[in-house]
Amino acid sequence: MVHDTNECARELLDVVPSVMRFIRTEMRRHRALGLSVPQFRTLVYIERTGGTSLVGVAEHLGLTPPSACKIVDGLQGRQLITRTQSPEDRRMVTLQITSGGKQALADARGETQKSLTSVLSALSQHELLAVTRSMEILRTAFTGERVHANS
């Protein structure tokens, strides 16, 4: 039914920016070792791959290479990642997370998740499962990725 697809799109357009704003605000609030949302996502990806390139980051995050370059600049400046020339193809850089980066990631993840968890505690068990399941549906639809089995 076309109607339901449109309604769902309208809801996404209305609600997703609100949740996003909450996430940004929370991340900004705990910014002692704080990460912005793009920095956070970039770091997550670099950690997960264990050694990606700049183009890899750009493609994964849906950014242009210059944008990815600037975010990587910031992370490297704070020594959260290393950026080395690849031995095989000297045009490429290899990006890897440092122990400091892992720590910052754990902190940001923990603090922001705690704030989200507190909001979500108002939901019933049933609602919680519905939202969790919907996130999995949206992940598949918008990124083509399946859930990775970690944590």
Partner DNA sequence: TATTGTTATACTCTATAACTATA
Partner DNA sequence: TATAGTTATAGAGTATAACAATA
What is the contact surface with its own copies in residues (CB under 8 A)? 1-2, 4-23, 25, 37, 41, 61-62, 109, 112-114, 116-117, 119-123, 125, 127-139, 141-143, 151
Is residue 12 a contact residue for DNA (CB under 7 A)? Answer: no
Other Cβ atoms less than 10 A from the Cβ of 128: the count is: 13
Which residue lies nearer to DNA by CB, 64 or 103? 64
Which residue lies nearer to DNA by CB, 51 or 127? 51
Which residue lies nearer to DNA by CB, 100 or 129? 100
Q: Which option in DNA, its own copies, none does residue 142 bind, with CB closer than 5 to 8 A by kind?
A: its own copies
Which residue lies nearer to DNA by CB, 78 or 116? 78
Per-residue three-class SS string for the chain: CHHHHHHHHHHHHHHHHHHHHHHHHHHHHCCCCCCCHHHHHHHHHHHHHCCECHHHHHHHHCCCHHHHHHHHHHHHHCCCEEEEECCCCCCCEEEEECHHHHHHHHHHHHHHHHHHHHHHCCCCHHHHHHHHHHHHHHHHHHHCCCCCCCC
What string marks each residue from 81 to 110 as x (binds DNA by CB under 7 A) or -?
--x--x--xxxxx-----------------
Is residue 34 a contact residue for DNA (CB under 7 A)? Answer: no
CB 126 within 8 A of CB 86: no
Is residue 139 a contact residue for DNA (CB under 7 A)? Answer: no
Give the distance, in angstroms, between the CA of residue 89 and the centroid of all CA atoms in the same chain: 28
Contact residues for DNA, defined by CB under 7 A: 21, 25, 28, 36-39, 53-56, 61-67, 69-74, 83, 86, 89-93
